């Protein structure tokens, strides 16, 4: 018996440092095993979940997966971000944001990957939050 060779390991996409900072500003304070330090260095798979630090000099930022942040936006603010596959031949995607009261935001520009479209959708959804 030979073990099959894994060509592409599928992993959940973590949010970028830019999105992590914006999410914290908008109230995302969930502990995570992945987080960014104050300079944007990603610290992955720590032994314990880290609570984001509010230390002014050395803050830290939770780095959840894109899908966890997407769920938090939906549950906390009733903002739904979805990605739509618009061109199967070229693999192009757009994001779409819906909010309560059926207010639908215009669709986005085209992106080359699902994850890239979701990242920009999350940024624009976070920018809708006024605290």
- Give per-residue pLDDT as tens, 57-95: 889 999 999 999 999 999 999 999 999 998 777 779 999
Residue 3 reports pLDDT greater than 60: no
For residue 90, what pLDDT is reported? 79
Among 62, 50, 56, smallest CA distance to 24 is for 62
Residue 5 reports pLDDT greater than 70: no
**pLDDT band at residue 124, thresholds of 50, 70 and 90?**
very high
For residue 89, what pLDDT is reported? 78
For residue 7, what pLDDT is reported? 57
Q: Give, for 25, the enclosing helix (H) or strand (E).
A: helix 17-25
Instruction: Report the Cα–Cα distance between both ends of the chain, in Å, rounded.
Output: 58
Residue 15 reports pLDDT greater than 80: yes
């Amino acid at each position: 018996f030979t073990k099959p060779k894994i060509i592409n390991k599928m992993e959940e996409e973590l949010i970028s440092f830019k999105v992590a900072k914006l999410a914290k500003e908008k109230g995302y304070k969930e502990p995570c095993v992945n987080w960014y330090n104050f300079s944007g260095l990603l610290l992955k798979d720590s032994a314990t979940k880290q609570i984001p630090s509010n230390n002014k000099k050395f803050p830290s930022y939770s780095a959840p997966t894109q899908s966890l942040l997407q769920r938090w936006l939906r549950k906390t603010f009733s903002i739904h971000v979805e990605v739509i596959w618009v061109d199967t031949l070229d693999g192009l995607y757009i994001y779409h944001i819906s909010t309560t009261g059926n207010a639908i935001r215009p669709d986005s520009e085209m992106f080359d990957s699902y994850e890239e479209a979701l990242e920009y959708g999350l940024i624009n959804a976070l920018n809708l939050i006024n605290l």
